[in-house]
Amino acid sequence: MKYISTRGQSPALSFSQILLGGLAPDGGLYLPERYPQLSDADLSAMRGLSYADLAFAILSRFVDDIPANDLKTIIDKTYRADVYAYTRNGQSAADITPTLKLEENLYLLSLSNGPTLAFKDMAMQLLGNLFEYVLTKEGKTTNILGATSGDTGSAAEYAMRGKKGIRVFMLSPHKKMSRFQTAQMFSLQDDNIFNIAVNGVFDDCQDMVKAVSNDAAFKAQYKIGAVNSINWGRIVAQVVYYFKAYFAVTQDNSQKVDFSVPSGNFGNVCAGHIARMMGLPIDKLIVATNENDVLDEFFKTGVYSPRGSANTYHTSSPSMDISKASNFERFVFDLVGRDSDKTRALWSKVDSGGNFDLNADGYFAKIADYGFVSGSSNHAQRMQTIRETKAKYDVVIDTHTADGLKVAKAYFDKNTPMVVLETALPAKFEDAIVEALGDVPERPAALAGIESLPQRFTVMDASADQIKDFIIKNT
Ligand SMILES: *Cc1c(COP(=O)(O)O)cnc(C)c1O
């Protein structure tokens, strides 16, 4: 299986060759040259597999340059009950991604039982083990440089801590993350994890990462790597739980299922799109946004109009506060019939601050063939959904999941199973839950008092030279 760029001007590469990188050299995103196709018999053989065995059955169709035994070992080491242990509502950790029935045909898919209480652990933990394997095999090292406003940084650090050949330099805006998120990251004492609190906002952190990445000589000499949301390894790992959920809520492969996905960078729902393209019987893929509704606007009108960081709202579902969806190009590439010239032309508009309209040439009319629909939610609706879910089902959900459930209800026809992806546990966003319910949400016992642990971090001004110096001194 080779991987091609959506912009068509980079050579096709293997899985291990694209694993450690980000964008393709032509600025595009990597996708497999074709999606593996699963027959009814393939699906039946997968039904009933454990999470790890299912992950191997799926990932081995995308990875052909890691020996099968090694891939199996990496997967078994990743998807263990003791890694995804923070279950609630009487669920079993052995399921890794248990489903919770709210009412007939309405389910939550628990994806947030990993170490940082958000769905990003599902893919990032695998990436940590894959990175270590590939680097060790090739005798290489990497210095991962990233910027975070909370969820991505913590997931990356918990996945990479203690890994051979890997250092993580994670920039976050000083005093702008929640106390819990700060404590999660800054209490890590591993030698290979460097937390840098930047005097500035998230965009300042991102600008520092960009400035370093644009310095090709520095980037090469210090082996700067990334684990951002466009990483193909993250997307493909997320494909697995769509299958797991499908088998959990159906009896046979003639049934179709709808998924509602709280979305920001379009990574999670892109994995659902790929599962559907492989032949998983998904009817609708529901893209749920918050007030930052660029994607909802696209799926309703055919116009994609990114807003820029100055016009991004800060909401109570902050991990979806994104106005330019970095993985969206992958879907559009498929939608335009994998025409890389067309994709390149569309993104030359986006990259120069413009927008595009897919109503011409009949592209937008084809969206229905891909199952996509969308909706958005706002603060009041989110609070209302959290309250209703508690009152009706005695289940506490977080603000992002609430956006997903709110939008799901508009499409729920009661006959088709609807699975809402739970992208974080409520304990991660305590203040919003207190606002909705008046009570502090339950927190996993192992994380009680995490705010009072000693913290390890360096404060720095928003300067590319300062972070470069810091990397030089610490490698
Ligand atoms: C990252 C994140 C999202 C958005 O996921 P995308 O893959 O960027 O669409 C939603 N909810 C939570 C809690 C997240 O951390």
**Three-state secondary structure call for residue 406:** helix
What's the average model confidence in pLDDT over 48-77? 98
What is the signed CA dihedral for 80, 82, 87, 92, rounded to 10 degrees? 60
Maximal CA-CA distance, the chain: 60
Query: Does the Cβ of 151 fall within 6 Å of ligand 1?
Result: yes
List the single range of 273-282, 323-332, 395-404 with lowest mean pLDDT: 323-332
In 10 A of CB 440, how many CB atoms? 12
What is the reported pLDDT for 381? Answer: 98
Percentage with pLDDT > 90 across the chain: 89
Question: What angle do helix axes 232-249 and 267-277 make, rounded to 10 degrees?
Answer: 60
What is the reported pLDDT for 149? Answer: 81
List the single range of 49-53, 118-122, 148-152, 468-472 with lowest mean pLDDT: 148-152
What's the average model confidence in pLDDT over 278-287? 98
Query: Does the Cβ of 265 fall within 6 Å of ligand 1?
Result: yes
How distant, in Å, are the alpha carbons of 100, 110, 249, 288, 408 from that of 104?
A: 11, 17, 10, 21, 14
Query: Does the Cβ of 320 fall within 6 Å of ligand 1?
Result: yes
* Distance (Å) from CA 469 to ligand 1 centroid: 32
CATH 3.40.50.2300 assigned to 93-117+233-437: no
The residues annotated as belonging to the active site are 120
Whether pLDDT at 404 is above 80: yes
DSSP letters for 262-281: E-SSSHHHHHHHHHHHTT--
Q: Which residue of 108, 110, 151, 298 sits with most ligand 1 atoms within 8 Å of its CB, as the best mutation to test the pocket?
A: 151
Among 107-116, 150-159, 304-313, 354-363, name the most confident range.
Answer: 107-116
Q: When comparing pLDDT for 50 and 309, which is higher? A: 50
Q: For the chain, which residues make up each domain, given as ranges? A: 93-117+233-437
Percentage with pLDDT > 70 across the chain: 100
What is the reported pLDDT for 309? Answer: 75
- Ligand 1 atom nearest to CA at 263: 9
Q: Which residue of 228, 312, 320, 421 sits with most ligand 1 atoms within 8 Å of its CB, as the best mutation to test the pocket?
A: 320
Where do we find the tokens 């203690």? 162
Sheet holding 99-103, edge to edge: 99-103, 106-110, 418-422, 257-262, 282-289, 372-376
Average pLDDT, whole number, for the chain? 95
* Distance (Å) from CA 403 to ligand 1 centroid: 11
Instruction: Go through 217-226 and write b for each residue having 16 or more CB atoms within 10 A of its CB, e for each that does not.
Output: ebeeebbbbb
Whether pLDDT at 150 is above 90: no
- Ligand 1 atom nearest to CA at 238: 7
- Ligand 1 atom nearest to CA at 428: 13
**Three-state secondary structure call for residue 199:** strand
Query: Does the Cβ of 400 fall within 6 Å of ligand 1?
Result: yes
Query: Does the Cβ of 229 fall within 6 Å of ligand 1?
Result: yes
Reported in sequence order, the residue ranges of 227-346 that DSSP labels E, i.e. its strands, are 257-262, 282-289, 303-304
Whether pLDDT at 308 is above 80: no
Strands 458-461 and 193-199: parallel
Query: Does the Cβ of 231 fall within 6 Å of ligand 1?
Result: no
- Ligand 1 atom nearest to CA at 150: 15
Q: From CA 277, how far away is CA 269, in angstroms rounded?
A: 12
**Three-state secondary structure call for residue 212:** helix
**CB of 122 within 8 A of CB of 97?**
yes
Q: From CA 171, how far away is CA 224, in angstroms rounded?
A: 14
Query: Does the Cβ of 32 fall within 6 Å of ligand 1?
Result: no
Instruction: Go through 123-156 and write b for each residue having 16 or more CB atoms within 10 A of its CB, e for each that does not.
Output: bbbbbbbbbbbbbeeeeeebbbbbbbbbbbbbbb
For residue 172, the surrounding DSSP H or E stretch is strand 166-173
- Ligand 1 atom nearest to CA at 326: 8
What is the reported pLDDT for 226? Answer: 86
Question: Six-digit token pair at 181?
Answer: 């998120």
Query: Does the Cβ of 426 fall within 6 Å of ligand 1?
Result: no
* Distance (Å) from CA 264 to ligand 1 centroid: 6
What is the reported pLDDT for 322? Answer: 85
What's the average model confidence in pLDDT over 166-185? 92
What is the reported pLDDT for 212? Answer: 92
* Distance (Å) from CA 400 to ligand 1 centroid: 8
Where do we find the tokens 């969820």? 151
* Bridge partners, residue 422, by sequence: 110
What is the reported pLDDT for 207? Answer: 87
Q: From CA 16, how far away is CA 10, in angstroms rounded?
A: 16
The dihedral through the CA atoms of 326, 223, 118, 236 has a sign that is positive
What is the reported pLDDT for 290? Answer: 97
Strands 418-422 and 106-110: parallel
Whether pLDDT at 249 is above 90: yes
Could you report the per-residue pLDDT of 257-273, keeping only the tens digit for each?
Answer: 999 999 999 999 999 99
* Distance (Å) from CA 440 to ligand 1 centroid: 22
Confidence of residue 279 (pLDDT cuts 50, 70, 90): very high
Q: From CA 328, how far away is CA 333, in angstroms rounded?
A: 9
What's the average model confidence in pLDDT over 32-40? 98
Residue of minimum CA distance from atom 7 in ligand 1: 267
What's the average model confidence in pLDDT over 75-89? 96
For residue 461, the surrounding DSSP H or E stretch is strand 458-461
* Bridge partners, residue 166, by sequence: 142
What is the signed CA dihedral for 399, 405, 406, 412, rounded to 10 degrees? 180
Query: Does the Cβ of 273 fall within 6 Å of ligand 1?
Result: no
What's the average model confidence in pLDDT over 117-121? 96
Confidence of residue 231 (pLDDT cuts 50, 70, 90): very high
Query: Does the Cβ of 264 fall within 6 Å of ligand 1?
Result: yes
* Distance (Å) from CA 84 to ligand 1 centroid: 18
How distant, in Å, are the alpha carbons of 115, 160, 362 from that of 353?
A: 37, 34, 24
